């Protein structure tokens, strides 16, 4: 059986915005994944899990690579839920520009700007949404530190 990842991974182009190190908001980088605070002002805690190599689609990864990526996404969700205590977590694999498969892990609250719609739809920034962001921002440092501790390369290669 041919390794799909070997067929589809390409040399990292110099101008790839996701190959730069460190990325804006980068929390931790392993040999396989980069965990980034997406720095979305209306959605504190929005986290991205980015596959390090140039791979456009999940099916371009080998089965063990897919499992590792999803295990990482699920662990980020678990840590997010423990620290930020969102009403719901949205997982999305979106992105059409950079050739890095990645997952969005998005903390949602029933009073956030866009709830119950996807965050990309927009919405109304209410006082309740502002208050929720303030509460979330107060927990962000501990959340980030937990991600760093869990995924630092000595623990997760």
d(CA 4, CA 59): 7
Q: Which helix (H) or strand (E) is 146 found in, with range?
A: helix 127-151
Instruction: Tell me if 56 sits within 8 A of 8, measured CB to CB.
Output: yes
SS3 string of 97-140?
CCCECEEEEEEECCCCCCCCCCHHHCCCCCHHHHHHHHHHHHHH
Q: What is the pLDDT of residue 13?
A: 53
Q: What is the pLDDT of residue 36?
A: 97
d(CA 14, CA 6): 20
Q: What is the pLDDT of residue 73?
A: 98
Q: Which domains does the chain have, with CATH numbers?
A: 4-151 (3.30.428.10)
pLDDT averaged per 10 residues in sequence order, the chain, 157 residues: 44 70 94 96 97 94 97 98 98 86 97 94 94 97 98 70
């Amino acid at each position: 059986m041919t390794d799909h990842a070997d067929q589809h991974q390409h040399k990292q182009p110099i101008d790839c915005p996701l190959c730069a190190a460190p990325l804006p908001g980068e929390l931790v980088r392993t040999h396989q994944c980069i965990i980034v605070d997406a720095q979305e002002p209306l959605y504190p805690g929005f986290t991205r899990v980015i596959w390090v190599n140039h791979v456009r689609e999940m099916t371009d990864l080998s089965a063990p690579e897919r499992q590792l990526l999803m295990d990482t996404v699920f662990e980020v969700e678990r840590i997010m839920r423990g620290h930020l205590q969102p009403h719901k977590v949205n997982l999305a694999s979106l992105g059409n520009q950079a050739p890095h498969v990645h997952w969005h892990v998005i903390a949602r609250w029933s009073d956030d700007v866009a709830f119950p719609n996807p965050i990309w739809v927009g919405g109304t920034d209410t006082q309740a949404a502002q208050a929720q962001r303030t509460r979330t921002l107060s927990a962000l440092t501990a959340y980030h530190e937990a991600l760093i501790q869990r995924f630092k390369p000595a623990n997760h290669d």
